[in-house]
Amino acid sequence: MKRRDFLKLSAATAGVTLIPAYTVQAQEEQLSPDDPQAKALAYVEVSETEGQQCRNCIHAKGDLEAEWVGCNLFPGKQVKAEGWCKVWAARG
Ligand code: SF4
């Protein structure tokens, strides 16, 4: 493989790996406390339980310093990092 072809392939590969990650993040909607599943788990956007927030829950994922984080219980949605629900569990 020529150096020029290698550089073209590298650039194409980098685009393929970065664009889908950005797209997935952009498509995640913010979970509403009015969502039926959120209501079932008593989800709130501001925790009233000291020391327990979504950002330090074992089910949270992604950038835990962000305002909104991913949650394994709500695939495709983001929860408020300061939020809480009744299945909160401490991160190991
Ligand atoms: S499971 Fe954890 S991260 Fe998900 S909404 Fe409940 S408290 Fe927040």
For residue 14, give the CATH number of its domain.
Answer: 4.10.490
Residue 11 lies in a domain: yes
In a domain, 16, yes or no: yes
87 part of a folded domain: no
Q: Which domain holds residue 69?
A: 3-80
Q: What is the pTM of this model?
A: 0.74
Q: Which atom of ligand 1 is nearest to the CA of 83?
A: 8
pLDDT in tens, 11-42: 444 544 444 444 445 568 999 999 999 999 99
84 lines ligand 1 (CB under 6 A): yes
Q: Confirm whether 60 is domain-assigned.
A: yes
Please report the pLDDT score of residue 28 as a whole number.
Answer: 86
CA angle (32, 38, 40) in 5-degree steps: 150
91 part of a folded domain? no
Q: What is the pLDDT of residues 51-76, one digit of tens each?
A: 999 999 999 999 999 999 999 999 99
Residue 62 φ/ψ region, left for φ over 0, alpha for ψ in the -120 to 50 degree band, beta for the rest: left
Residue 20: inside a domain: yes
Number of domains making up the chain = 1
**Alpha-carbon distance 52 to 74, whole Å?**
18
Query: Is 38 a pocket residue for ligand 1 (Cβ < 6 Å)?
Result: no
Query: What is the number of the ligand 1 atom nearest to the C-alpha of 41?
Result: 6
Question: Which of 1-5, 41-45, 77-81 shows the lowest mean pLDDT across its residues?
Answer: 1-5
Residues in the chain: 92
Residue 7 included in any domain: yes
- CB 44 near ligand 1, within 6 Å: no
Name the CA dihedral angle for 9, 14, 15, 21, rounded to a multiple of 10 degrees. Answer: 150
